Structure 1
């Protein structure tokens, strides 16, 4: 090192998102001295809860759904300790629904008979298809989650595939491989008849950068639909940040340290190995065994590694890692729940999607990819206080609205009504477009709003630099950036092209979500050495 170290750790973690914290816990439990350094003054990355509008109204800033964490291998191993540090969930009996222009709706509730009753009222053949799919899910799930729960590639993953083939045969294995390539439309058309059922499932693809006709888009809607049906959905009791509070509390119990308000300026190298970090204030922190970057490839190779890896072609591949579409968040404090015109039952659902058909989703996606503000964006309307009344004062509610597939750099407006091109000027006007869409399904919503907070794609990136252009996925999950290719072919096992330097987070396998998968897998892998 070129300067004396102010502090020394076995492992240094850059970024206090939940994957970085999970890796730190895994290592600290195995006796490593671990320090986590976070630029912001609050841990959590994209999992934060604040009173964004009025006192007593607790809004999840970005991530709301903690179902992946609740079902994760990490929680199975550390659940007792995390619950001791306050982790608690609020379960949703009614998980997700979609509303349609004809005044109808369809939704999936945890009780399968309730879901089937809705499907039978729409189309008995679709109800039968749903039962068959749920039955198949029981057969598929152990193998799919086995893939998602192991390093990519690894001998453990190879054993998952081998066992799947031995149990189910060649035909099933080939069909599953084919399934990984299917578009949402192809998959939905093969199973269901009613377009409303298809659209309700396809809306999940828009959470992960998969419009209806994109190859590889079927897996996420399949998993989300079946997991919600089989296990339900949960959110954090009192706020998503209850997960982060439990993680940081447990890490402190294990002797790990979290340093907030400490931006990292550079990953230091001694020879060809990462040897520590330099903070923005000039402090040098030594890492004896590992530097773990819980950031995006663009941040690591565009900023934190000014000397690069030593191979320009490899560095360029990481810098070329592609962000997903932008999002905007609209947080509302309400004096009453939305009055959904399609039916009062909708006010009980955790999520209500406004994405009524394949054409609507495709049009919004294509407009955003062309740099245009979508005329009608896809909306994910979260109703956390319907599941957890502690999120708002008695009788009041919060609404969590995610506006999906927006451009980072605005070239125009598909509706030809907004002339501005910078998000600081655009966001208030575009929020009115969003409210118009919601109000067309929930009349009188504006009169119920007590206060609101808007986060444009630029605001989200300013809040968390890993949310590039408001991309809450830390990179597109399309096939060229998934599986063996996440983040870059040859580096899917978290080890970077600099010795003792590793990456975790949503930009790495198994990708976005609150499951702590990459942090857990990396921590477990390093702890064995």
Structure 2
């Protein structure tokens, strides 16, 4: 007998789960189908090195989730299902070759004093930006988190016009178009303050000179200053486990080891899906695909809209990422300061020119000679992730080419990730050792995850792209993933697209899934 549901969701990433939770709460019979052995997509946690050491596979920072509209509605339900956060006071920092450092804490005086030691004028600028942030945040969060509709954007801009006039709207538009280097260079004097914030652009694919990237360093800096940061207690998978439990309490289901190979379309309407074992499941109201754009094109074949089909197939992905999970005897001894042991993130990204060079090399298919290394120290915040007295490090190596054409340093001859993984990981560990001598000697176990392994585990991470598609202006706002379809609709009736590939894009905020669920069920 063929199973029939109200809604079928392809993929079990956090956007899928947020969508499913809302639909189930509105009375829909929802089934989520996941090709992998466990739900969560890139938001999962496991003992990848040694027993008792819990490592976040990809996503670590849950601040966007904790501040999301979805959490505002379902936070109490999720809490009853086991969701726990670990708040962070000392959020992010950067270390520099001269032995100095800068860091942002949620205590304004601490942050301002660190900046003042580098440049007094920049400290005053930081205080001013912090004071202005609440008023400015309303418009920015409205733009970046609202529905992808011309009317919605126009309304937000109208509110901004009423608040700050024509000049204010023009200033906002200029800011949204600016590159990180544009904004940072005109705002701060110190190259170190600029580098401290610019590192956040590299978490997406906004190298210093990419237009449209200024907003991300700004928002991360100001939001962390204002609210601090949030990690998951015990691991980022706390949100996955809580959403799964909440969904199941409301009658929804998740089926793992269930790969969907085709969306069934009849008379221009999606009516169900076919699994790799030949089984078919039908949907009365919606088939929702949380997949990369090209994958949706493969699942549907031709939709009848040539522009849409072409847009899916030609969607551009960001450079890849290598993850290095380390089980540690202790945290690194940072030369710059013992205080760095209290920070969730330590960025090894000393200046804008180095970040720009790294990005360009990766885009050209080269292993960067000096990659950006994001050193996450989750056990500095949440000791429960490791045995007593021990720690884990979460190293994110950015940028890394999905397909290797060569080595910018001329040292690694391998062009396949299986062979290049170890020497490239050693390059990243050399950087860690530069700023924290003796760190290697504290490693108890390690697990390298290459861009190829990220994609094999989760096909949405094409070439190791953890954000499921570039966020450059041509693929952002109303153009994500294709003009006219940023709200999750497709040319096929009852077929919808969600996940990081759809507006408002990547991050743990669950915006694409929750906005689509509201569109479908109110």
Q: Would you say same fold, with TM above 0.5? A: yes
**TM, length-normalised to structure 1:** 0.97
Matched residues in 2 for 1:274 and 1:492: separation?
19
Matched residues in 1 for 2:25 and 2:146: separation?
20
**Which residue does the alignment assign to 1:285?**
281
**Which residue does the alignment assign to 1:446?**
440
Matched residues in 1 for 2:461 and 2:352: separation?
27
2:299 to 275, 282, 304: 304
Consecutive unaligned residues in structure 1, runs of 5 or more:
none
Matched residues in 1 for 2:310 and 2:142: separation?
32
> 1:24-76 deviations in whole A, cap 9, x for unaligned?
11111111111100101111010000000001000000000000000000000
Matched residues in 2 for 1:212 and 1:160: separation?
27
Matched residues in 1 for 2:469 and 2:307: separation?
20
Report the count of equivalent residues: 522
**Which residue does the alignment assign to 1:372?**
366
**Which residue does the alignment assign to 2:460?**
466
2:155 to 159, 168, 173: 159
Q: Report the aligned-residue RMSD.
A: 0.9
Matched, 1:177 2:204: no
Matched, 1:45 2:41: yes
**Which residue does the alignment assign to 1:145?**
141
Summarize the alignment of residues 378-457 of structure 1 with structure 2, pairs less than 5 Å apart: 378-457=372-451
Matched residues in 2 for 1:349 and 1:10: separation?
45
Shift of residue 156, structure 1, vs aligned partner: 3.8
Greater Cα shift, 286-295 or 132-141: 132-141
Matched residues in 2 for 1:354 and 1:234: separation?
21
Contact 2:311 2:481 in 1 (8 A): no
Summarize the alignment of residues 486-505 of structure 1 with structure 2, pairs less than 5 Å apart: 486-505=480-499
Matched residues in 1 for 2:182 and 2:106: separation?
26
Matched residues in 2 for 1:58 and 1:154: separation?
43
Shift of residue 415, structure 1, vs aligned partner: 0.6
Shift of residue 154, structure 1, vs aligned partner: 5.1
Local SS of the residue matching 2:93: strand
**Which residue does the alignment assign to 2:113?**
117
Shift of residue 164, structure 1, vs aligned partner: 2.0
Local SS of the residue matching 2:51: coil
Shift of residue 471, structure 1, vs aligned partner: 0.3
> 1:466-516 deviations in whole A, cap 9, x for unaligned?
000100010000010000110111111110111111111111111110000
Local SS of the residue matching 1:8: strand
Matched, 1:235 2:231: yes
**Which residue does the alignment assign to 1:254?**
250
> 1:227-278 deviations in whole A, cap 9, x for unaligned?
0000000100000001000000000111111111111010000110111100
Matched residues in 2 for 1:497 and 1:12: separation?
18
Summarize the alignment of residues 23-102 of structure 1 with structure 2, pairs less than 5 Å apart: 23-102=19-98
1:271 to 235, 244, 267: 267
Consecutive unaligned residues in structure 2, runs of 5 or more:
none
**Which residue does the alignment assign to 2:334?**
340
Shift of residue 145, structure 1, vs aligned partner: 1.1
Matched residues in 2 for 1:396 and 1:118: separation?
29
Matched, 1:7 2:6: no
**Which residue does the alignment assign to 1:483?**
477
Local SS of the residue matching 1:126: helix
